[in-house]
Homo-oligomer: A and B are copies of this chain.
Amino acid sequence: MATGRSQTVVDRIIAEAGEVRRKISRNGKPRMKMPIRSLSNVKYNPKPGYFKLQGKSKIRTLTVNTVKAFAQTLKMLAMSKELIDADKNSTKREAYYQAYNWGEAAFGGQEESDAVMDDVEAMLGVNREKLHFRADEHGGEVAGALAVIDKDRRTGRRVNIDCTAFGSGAYSVPSVVEDLGFETDADFILAIETKGMFERLVEENFFGKFNCILVSMGGVPSRACRRFIRRLSDKKKLPVYVFTDGDPYGYYNIYRTLKVGSGNAAHLNEFFCVPRAVFLGVTPDDIVDYKLPSHSLKEVDIKRANDALKNDPFIQHYKVWQKSINRMLEMGVRVEQQALAKHGLDFVAQKYLPEKLKKRKFLP
């Protein structure tokens, strides 16, 4: 599936390698150019909707000092091409072990091979899943009004995965989602912080009543989970509502990362952010409006909140987020999704979420 997309990547690999080869055959010094990946080279602009790299880049020229890194980068490009040709994916760890056979270009440790992989990713301007490298991580869970289209490894035939038909279970998102297709008539995606709340909403038949797709992020969403929500919401023009605990961790580490990305992987935000995501709750106002049990802010919460007010370009862009955070700091408390259970297990599905959705009281 989507071989067209991978083919483009293969073409780019061939072009990069060909350029190096041409330089060498003319006795020139081959070089590779890649953007600098750090917060100093990033800015937030609501129009593209994510932390965007500015122009700074570094050049790796072949010299005595760079010969090993240069060789590793080329070998990594070659490995990626082989994977794409064979329609296989390699974890970062497997890539590191395969490089044991690279002789003098072998890595000293996985941190070295990861860094080269990041370089290759940034150089080609694609996420590494398109290079057929995958993370060894949990991709989130899905239940609701969605059919995922994938293919059967045994037969190559198309499979249609009906996410309404998992009973109390769910569809587990694979680590590479680039080639998945989607069929849905859902009205929105609800991205949920905890598996506990996800299972609550499955049990309450929430997606049956509110024609929607539930995604359990399991804390800070992994690359696969973010990319899944991004691709699904883009392809099907679906609104994305985010439902986390009401604390700085929920607001920044989870929601902000999902929506605009993070600083230290700025070259990737373009592919992993979900600019159309909006924050549904739990908000500081909800604590009062719904008489929810709350807990005192921990020191780490206060530190995180002040950091965000001071340094986070996303928060600095939105007055309403600054207001919410200041409100939270004044109240001195945080609140959990599951606190809604004080009013009965079905309160979240019968009253809280329907009211929030109806009033469209979202934060940007």
Contact = CB atoms under 8 A, between A and B. Distances in A.
Name the residue in A167, A195, A208, A339 with the highest tally of chain B Cβ atoms < 10 Å from its Cβ: A167
A148 B169 contact: yes
A196 B342 contact: no
A166 interface: yes
A341 B168 contact: no
Contact of A165 (B152, B202, B336): B152
B98 A342 contact: yes
Given A165-B152, A169-B172, A172-B172, A97 B338 contact: yes
Interface in A118-143: 134, 136-138, 141
Contacts of A159: 165-167
A175 interface: yes
Nearest to A171: B169
A101 interface: yes
A68 interface: no
B168 A153 contact: yes
A59 to B, nearest CB: 32
Interface stretch (A29-37, A87-95, A255-263): A87-95
A205 interface: yes
Nearest to A141: B172
B134 A91 contact: no
A199 B141 CA distance: 16
A170 interface: yes
A345 interface: yes
A360 interface: no
Contact of A151 (B167, B202, B344): B167
A204 B137 CA distance: 19
A153 B101 contact: no
A181 to B, nearest CB: 10
A91 B169 CA distance: 15
B154 A161 contact: no
Interface string A325-350: 00000000000101111101100000
Contacts of A171: 166, 169-172
Nearest to A218: B138
A205 B153 contact: yes
Contacts of A194: 136
A342 B159 CA distance: 32
Contacts of A170: 171-172, 174
Interface of A: 88-91, 93-95, 97-98, 100-101, 134, 136-138, 141, 148, 150-154, 159, 161, 164-176, 180, 194-196, 199-200, 202-205, 208, 218, 293, 336, 338-342, 344-345
9 contacts: A91-B338, A93-B338, A97-B342, A98-B345, A134-B196, A136-B194, A166-B172, A167-B180, A169-B172
A-B pairs, top 10 by smallest CB distance, nearest first, are A150-B167, A136-B196, A172-B172, A94-B341, A91-B196, A154-B208, A168-B174, A170-B172, A97-B341, A93-B338
